């Protein structure tokens, strides 16, 4: 038992939870917390980012790369609101995160005080839960509860708002072991497993659709065994990449708006769709009534709120997807579906992912080079837009937690912060951020953070001088009315990188890229590779808005 102030109690609670790294930015309302961080610097590493949004994205990247809870810290008012985009990003992709904000002293709450906002009110729709601590005696219990909620069931972000005077008040601290977060298995019944087995036995053309829940549950190995035993092709949402090996013969690629033609045809023709840890996002299903029209749907998910939310299911199993698949696997007998697999292989041969070469540097070729040179053994983070989809399509993800991207919210400016967080989480891994020039310039200030901590990250910018994805829509669906998507900036990216203290390369062909990328891998410092690509390079396949996913447009 110890007498500690609130800030010190916060430090002790973070230590209890096994937190070794937090990302943040100081300010008046959290000055007592930063004073405690000074005292606890041998136990907890604080990463000073350039902006609070960078801190939230870094905490998110740290969490996605490890499965642990990411932690970010900001002061009151603008510091707290700068976390909002990062909190929403984590919420949409079910990322376990605890965001800690300072606030004005209790007596000044609700009086429009300097740097005061109602951050719990602001973040209510984008957190699993949030708290404002109004009694120092409740602080330790609140922090412990926040970490439990962030990890329990479907993960997500939790915010804890701590008024400044609470961090200064003294009370007793008694150390506790963290509450064990058990897997959600209480709703999985024998009847569920038997019903799933019956559906599998009756199906002639099953298709497995993998979502981000497979990665959260680290169910990659169990899923491979399941697919190989029932002889079913496997497609993936953007967030599901890495949940099933991208180089496996049963993998058909992504499904949906930017899905492969084999995946989208398989979804249209299958008689059983097995959705695992997936939420049937609009980017996957497109035209609802035309999605998997011939199929019974078996939905396996940890969150009961996802069942029948977007697509009517025929049968569901609620629980930890790793445990569900494991229990099904225990009772499975090998199945044979030669005809269906032959059909899938025929589609894969007829409609491979492809792009036209014309001597210019192609973004798809850049991704293929990165994959070949790293032998698929890197962690890839992305920004949002064309760069994100090319990274999803042309790099094969064989393991969970190797593709880190903002899926649900689609946050431009996410990738660099996430790259920093992932590199700090996995120092032995090579972490590479794939960026577009539009996204890069949103949060390029975090280059200062990468340089300060000498992180060996590589930022590959696919620079076409335009807001590529929006421009592509304008080209295909808006009669080429390019409203405000041609950036027309004269920024010298190499000078910008060098001004921050990073190394910079400008690239116009594949040979230059290969040489620069190999040098970057050896450099062991932050490197920016600015790849000049054509503004007419577009992402294919693409499903037109409102069309059935089988109506996918390929480049031809």
What amino acid positions are annotated as catalytic residues?
Answer: 52, 114-115, 164, 469
* Residues constituting the chain: 556
CB 395 within 8 A of CB 433: no
Backbone angles phi, psi at 171, to 5 degrees: -155, 180
Answer positive or negative: Cα dihedral of 15, 18, 21, 25.
negative
Partners of 301 in the β-ladder: 318
Plot region of 164 (φ>0 → left; ψ -120 to 50 → alpha; else → beta): alpha
Locate tokens 């991208």: which residue? 246
Tokens of 109: 């709450």
Q: Kindly give, in sequence order, each residue whose CB lies less than 8 Å from that of residue 257, ignoring residues fewer than 6 positions away.
A: 283, 284, 286, 542, 543, 549
CA–CA separation, 350 and 464 (whole Å)? 30
The backbone region for 293, taken as left when phi is positive above 0, alpha when psi lies in -120 to 50, beta otherwise, is alpha
Residue with tokens 């431009």: 412
- C-beta separation of 227 from 244 below 8 A: yes
- CA distances to 323, 364, 388, 503 from 458, rounded to whole Å, are 37, 17, 15, 10
Nearest to 73 by CA among 105, 115, 34, 119: 34
Q: Give the single-character DSSP code of 235.
A: E
C-alpha separations of 508 from 387, 403, 407, 461, 512 in Å: 17, 26, 29, 12, 7
Helix (H, G, I), strand (E, B) or coil at 191: helix
Q: How far apart are CA 440 and CA 443, in angstroms?
A: 6
CA distance 82 to 102: 13
Please give the C-alpha separations between residue 522 and each of 519, 525, 527, in angstroms, as whole numbers. Answer: 5, 9, 10
Q: Report whether 523 contacts 244 (CB < 8 A).
A: no
DSSP assignment of 145-190 equals: HHHHHHHSSS--EEEEEEEHHHHH-EEEE---PPPP---S-TT--H
């Amino acid at each position: 038992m110890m007498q500690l102030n609130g800030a010190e109690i916060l430090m002790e609670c973070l230590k209890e939870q096994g937190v070794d790294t937090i990302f943040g930015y100081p300010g008046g309302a959290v000055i007592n917390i930063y004073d405690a961080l000074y005292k606890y610097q041998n136990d907890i590493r604080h990463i000073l980012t350039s902006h609070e949004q960078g801190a939230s994205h870094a905490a998110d990247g740290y969490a996605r790369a490890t499965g642990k809870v990411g932690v970010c810290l900001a002061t009151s008012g603008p510091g707290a609101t700068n976390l909002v985009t990062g909190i929403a990003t984590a919420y949409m992709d079910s990322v376990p995160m605890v965001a800690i904000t300072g606030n004005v002293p209790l007596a000044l709450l609700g009086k429009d005080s300097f740097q005061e906002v109602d951050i719990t009110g602001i973040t209510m729709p984008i957190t699993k839960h949030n708290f404002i601590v109004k009694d120092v005696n409740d602080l330790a219990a609140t922090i412990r509860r926040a970490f439990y909620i962030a990890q329990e069931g479907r993960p997500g972000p939790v915010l804890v708002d701590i008024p400044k005077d609470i961090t200064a008040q003294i009370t007793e601290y008694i150390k506790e072991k963290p509450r064990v977060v058990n897997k959600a298995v209480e709703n999985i019944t024998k009847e569920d497993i038997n019903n799933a087995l019956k559906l599998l036995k009756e199906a002639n053309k099953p298709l497995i659709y993998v979502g981000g829940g497979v990665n959260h549950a680290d169910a990659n190995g169990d899923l491979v065994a399941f697919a190989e035993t029932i002889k079913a092709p496997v497609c993936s949402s953007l967030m599901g990449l890495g949940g099933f090996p991208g180089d496996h013969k049963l993998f058909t690629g992504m499904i949906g708006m930017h899905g492969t033609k084999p995946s989208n045809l398989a979804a249209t023709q299958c008689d059983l769709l097995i959705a695992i840890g997936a939420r049937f996002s609009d980017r996957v299903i497109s035209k609802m009534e035309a999605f998997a029209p011939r199929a019974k749907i078996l939905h396996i998910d940890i969150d009961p709120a996802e069942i029948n939310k977007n697509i009517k299911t025929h049968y569901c199993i609620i629980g930890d997807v790793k445990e569900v698949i494991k229990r099904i696997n225990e009772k499975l007998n090998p199945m044979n579906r030669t005809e269906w697999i032959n059909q899938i292989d025929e589609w894969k041969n007829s409609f491979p992912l492809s792009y036209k070469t014309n001597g210019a540097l192609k973004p798809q070729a850049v991704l293929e080079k990165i994959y070949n040179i790293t032998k698929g053994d890197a962690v890839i983070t992305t920004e949002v837009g064309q760069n994100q989809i090319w990274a999803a399509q042309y790099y094969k993800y064989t393991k969970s937690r190797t593709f880190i991207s903002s899926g649900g919210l689609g946050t431009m400016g996410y990738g660099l912060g996430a790259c920093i967080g992932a590199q700090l989480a996995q120092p032995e891994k090579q972490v590479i951020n794939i960026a577009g020039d539009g996204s890069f310039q949103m949060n390029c200030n975090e280059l200062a953070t990468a340089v300060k901590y000498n992180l060996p990250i590589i930022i590959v910018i696919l620079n076409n001088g335009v807001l590529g994805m929006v421009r592509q829509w304008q080209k295909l669906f808006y009669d080429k009315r390019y409203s405000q998507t041609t950036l027309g900036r004269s920024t010298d990216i190499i000078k910008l990188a060098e001004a921050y203290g990073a190394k910079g390369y400008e690239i116009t062909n594949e040979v230059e890229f290969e040489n620069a990328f190999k040098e970057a891998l050896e450099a062991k410092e932050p490197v920016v590779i600015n790849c000049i690509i054509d503004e007419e390079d577009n992402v294919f396949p693409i499903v037109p808005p409102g069309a059935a996913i089988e109506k996918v447009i390929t480049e031809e």
